[in-house]
Structure 1
């Protein structure tokens, strides 16, 4: 029991079990085809951030994939909160969690295996945020590289669904990491406009105005929407529009948003310094402060403390 008490607990097909007991059959369609959806939020001081909004987005992905998880959104929220509660004693005082929900279409059985689980595979998990690994990004800014790999076209597969099939952005990220292991990728869409990175959205600041790619070509991040809402409250104009490399080269400031980072400044794109080189820039700083106040946690200080 003492060994199990030091293991994180996950929800797995109706039961709360140690992570080591979450065993997905090799015939599960998530393993075979990436036929699954997931979503992730983070905690601030152990409190899940916009869990309802993340779960709602998760269920939009599931509807798109035509997967019924067998749980209502309210039940999925309750399960997620229970997973966080059951792991509270394992969270360091200066640390926080990623909290994830994952549902696959389930086992592709031939008929003679006798798998116990015949419906969808449902997992809710939590794991520590990589605060130490990403701390320097808040000190120095992110170096963005644009790979040759383009973001999957909405005419083929909607990027608005958060699925287990991440190979498009993984191949792009591998290309970028081969050139600079510390760089982050931002892909172009089929039309040559900025789209998104692997789990991140991009914003440009030009003459005090905020711009971000249209939702049609990207996953609409909850952190992305939070920044849009905060900008409007601060009187900063924000527009969703097509943005290309010319726009990036002439931006005064650029930053990325993601679940774990919240928002983090970009210092260069393809080796070219952003704007005046100030990191973070004034608009990014203003939005960062507003974000920290909104979530009740100085997330920048949380990261920088790990340097």
Structure 2
């Protein structure tokens, strides 16, 4: 058994301590790279095909060629994951990430950098959100508009989101940023989509203005299977403040209840998660074969 995790870097699977890229890599020099991330449940990868399909759409948008097709990327992903699985406990799971940058220019033209890696999910650090709910804080930093860069492509340049996170953490160290778009509507946060529940309906911003999250799509599908009305529409601050419930979705969280927005309690936040969020979280747990909330709460 390996003593440390491995990663795939430009054709080789190497120990992470030996993984390196050029100082001239344009992913570093220009912030120009694309990535996608899925996770495991009970050590089994979830919706890899969907994540890789989105990844390759992002690559096409960014005009990056990884030099391999989706099936090869899937094989490498599974090889890295299976090598690293023995290094975590039975009740732990991994984030699994693929990255492609512009790499360096060589005599033969473009030489993209291709990386596949896995890191343990931060259950202990995020368990508090499942116990008390997530305090959402809306920063002054606005989300990069789609006229500048499409949010539907998963671009590695997170400067916009990181600046928002810095601002939020200064106000509330536990706060989670959800950014407004240029029209003043709530859109998304770092690696996360935003939802509200109003009069029994689940509402989320339109896909044109946010990353089309796999967890977002899964949640919408589950809601429809449960007979819960779903809508994609603009959500302004009034909608958020008067919502009955709210939650975020992401690869790691799946579904995580929101307790407050800018300090204003969401609905009856004495009960977190609320009834609709609880139904969706239970359905998601049934889909992946693990108690999602319980996996986090067990780390408290």
Q: State the TM bucket, normalised to the shorter chain.
A: over 0.9
- Following superposition of structure 1 onto structure 2, how do residues 193-272 of structure 1 map, counting pairs within 5 Å? 193-272=185-264
Give the CA deviation at 1:228.
Answer: 0.3
Aligned to 2:123: 131
1:183 maps to which of 153, 161, 175: 175
Aligned to 2:288: 295
Cα RMSD after superposing both structures: 1.4
Aligned to 1:80: 77
Tell me, yes or no, if structure 1 residue 173 matches structure 2 residue 165.
yes
Tell me, yes or no, if structure 1 residue 160 matches structure 2 residue 152.
yes
Give, in whole Å, the separation in 1 of the partners of 2:278 and 2:239: 21
Give the CA deviation at 1:78.
Answer: 1.2
Tell me, yes or no, if structure 1 residue 36 matches structure 2 residue 29.
no
- Following superposition of structure 1 onto structure 2, how do residues 19-58 of structure 1 map, counting pairs within 5 Å? 19-58=16-55
Q: TM-score scaled by structure 2?
A: 0.97
Whether the 8 Å CA contact 2:102–2:110 is kept in 1: the answer is: no
Give, in whole Å, the separation in 1 of the partners of 2:211 and 2:118: 21
1:67 maps to which of 51, 64, 67: 64
Tell me, yes or no, if structure 1 residue 304 matches structure 2 residue 290.
no
Moved segments of 4+, more than 3 Å: none
* Long gaps (5+) in structure 2: none
Deviates more, 1:272-281 or 1:96-105: 272-281
Give, in whole Å, the separation in 1 of the partners of 2:85 and 2:240: 42
Give, in whole Å, the separation in 2 of the partners of 1:217 and 1:160: 7
Give, in whole Å, the separation in 2 of the partners of 1:258 and 1:303: 14
Give the CA deviation at 1:108.
Answer: 4.3
1:281 maps to which of 247, 271, 274: 274
Give, in whole Å, the separation in 2 of the partners of 1:91 and 1:17: 18
Give, in whole Å, the separation in 2 of the partners of 1:88 and 1:271: 40
Give, in whole Å, the separation in 2 of the partners of 1:193 and 1:30: 31
Whether the 8 Å CA contact 2:222–2:284 is kept in 1: the answer is: yes
* Long gaps (5+) in structure 1: none
Give the CA deviation at 1:206.
Answer: 0.4
Per-residue Cα deviation, 1:145-190 (whole angstroms, up to 9, x for no partner):
0000000010001111111110011101110001111100000011
